[in-house]
Structure 1
Amino acid sequence: MDGHKRTELTNEVTRRVSEEDLEEPARKNNYEDELFTPIDFAHINTFTKKPFSGNPAAVCVLPYERNDEWLKLIAKEFNLPATAFVIKRRQSKRSMSAQSEGSPLIAADETGTELKPVKWVNHPVGNEFDIRWFSTDAELGLCGHATLASAHMLFSSGMVKGDTIIFHSKKGTLRAAKVAGYHQDDEEPSVDRGNKEANVLHAKTVELGKGVVELDFPLSMAAQVDLAEAGRVSDALEVAKAVWVGRNELGDYLVEVSSSKEVELLRPNYQKIKELGGRSVIATARAPAEREIDVISRVFAPNLGINEDSVTGSVHTTIGPYWAAKLGKNTLEAYQASARGGHMTVRVDDCAGRVFLQGGAVTLMAGTLVNTFCV
């Protein structure tokens, strides 16, 4: 069945209310197995190795595309900062051949405002998924932590083979790579769909539900702002004197303050931060020598509806290069000191213009969506 026919059928059957209404068109088009496949979901904490910390996201693996109204309702029901919906791409022989030769893709940062061609050779055939992200209110252009959560769910469940996943979004394409905590074999997951106790999310991990994933983003340097602008930013953060203030092309202000303690104790004026415009204000400092981290930060984004974000992947494409140059090292351990807290390893490749973010993920809950055919 071609893509257009499949979409038409999906729109027809998902408008029906009862399962009886769905069965006839599904059977007629030999679509029963796919239509009635259970929709697996997981609630995953990202950029952490401990439950109840990091940035939470829900992930739903869909057997076919659903309409926007349905996606928004599910995201609102989860009531998390982000919900990701992923659908495995079907592969034609032609597209599979092109991919095996290393097709050109587009790499995107978390906001979708910075898209750059990049060639990933030998990415696994079949490990490609369409992905969309929703907050409780609207669709998101791109979302780093929910992408990490999606990769973790697919790796830990055994839904994909190999070490790399390609995610296709409306704004570009992202690559996620397996780092640690997952089996390296290519066996299919053993799941009994007829057994209610069995679920594809019973992960094949060394330590159930935990793993580390690497995301690949474009590097985003901050340029120093003038004294007047730096003063306004410092005033909004309620910092007496900033060490350095810059702004990147994504609309983030980067502010180095005098100490990690000052970062932790900040009580910013959110109204003044909103008036600055842009995406967010990042407060950062070097961590004390006795801590096992290099840098510490907090991120304030009231213009995005988030006074303080728990853990923000995309801002580390700016934090990383700034501290890499200042400390003379390309690999950094970074901690975001929000109430939930989160940690990642940041690797900066200046020559390639890339920043690689490695973060842990923990599956907190998993299950199957039911009673969702009414929209």
Structure 2
Amino acid sequence: MRFKTVLLAAAVASLALGPAHAQQDKTIRIGVLNDQSGPYADMGGPGSVIAARLAADDSGLRDKGWTIDILSADHQNKADVAAAIARQWYDVDRVDMITDVTNSAAALAVSQITKDKNKVMLASGPATSDLTGKACSPNTIHWTNDTWALAHSTGKAIVQTGGRTWYFLTADYAFGQALERDTAAVVRASGGTVIGAVRVPLGSADFSSFLLQAQASKAQIVGLANSGGDTTNSIKQAAEFGIVSGGQNLAGLLIYITDIHSIGLQTAQGLILTSPFYWDLNDGTRAFAKRFSAQMRGVQPTMVQAGVYAATITYLKAVAAEANPHDGREVVKSMKASPTDDPLFGKGRIREDGRKIHNMYLFEVKKPSESRGAWDYYKLRATVPAEEAFRPIEEGGCPLVASTQPVSAQN
């Protein structure tokens, strides 16, 4: 098995430290592990590496004697490749933290290795809610979104506005299966019906047979339990088959702004989606987007790339305060102990199960006539408060929570 690791950045310094830290090893190595060239490259890929570098630049550590190296690698959306890279990084390259890890199957594998090696994983790209459920870890924090949050925001809103019968096109691996599972549960709980589903291999170029099955189901809603290039391809081909013009509607359960850019407003207009981040949401997001896009030839950041930035800068603050910054469990414990506040996600907190809590937003894609120009794609429909946006901690089945606090004390 061969893969390529790239060393990208160096020297970033730390917060002021007391005498107890005088002998501290002040070198931190961060690995950005994701899809660099496949169907998920636009939403994470090289942009996540830039986000991590910006976080290092903004951490306030430059003049305090710390060195931060940032590495990157392409896991090719294969769990075994991701696991091999993680082991090499931890065992040979002395990496302390791995971030992004787009692709849920890869993330589940890397999370277990991270626990075994007592390092840190800050997941931004993967969406499976199992990362803070049955597969939770004291060494992993799940930052940006998850399938439960997406299902309960987008899925519930669509059912409540009349989309009661559903058929799913599902990416056939851990992420798609979890998203279908969580959304189907919301649909049924909200009074809707799931007529059926079809599993689609990751990275498929031809969705025709799967779309024909969805069309034949006559379901009101065709739920796209996929992401990235799979989402854009399925939406474009659905338009060719006349699915929407024939009376059915598409529900994009995990949509990125890069997807809308690829599809175009003419096709995407009216699509309802959920995200914790939009580049034009407020002054803080716009300032970050300006710096990010300057390095990405005008491309605006996705929520995954924003999550890499916010998670990394929060991690670096915790690292600088630790007597042993290479003890993963202690660093994660420190991150959980204090409220979070960053310019991209605002105020939040990290729960005992590793779930990062922040507001989620329900957006609608603008009509072409409503857009002021390139990347002006969303209008805000509703804000889902942080404490309502994610699965209640007692419902996740996280063994870490069950072993550390009684049921009556959960929140």
TM-score range, shorter chain: under 0.3
TM-score (norm 1): 0.27
- Structure number with the higher strand fraction is 1
TM-score (norm 2): 0.26
Q: Which has the larger radius of gyration?
A: 1
- Structure number with the higher helix fraction is 2
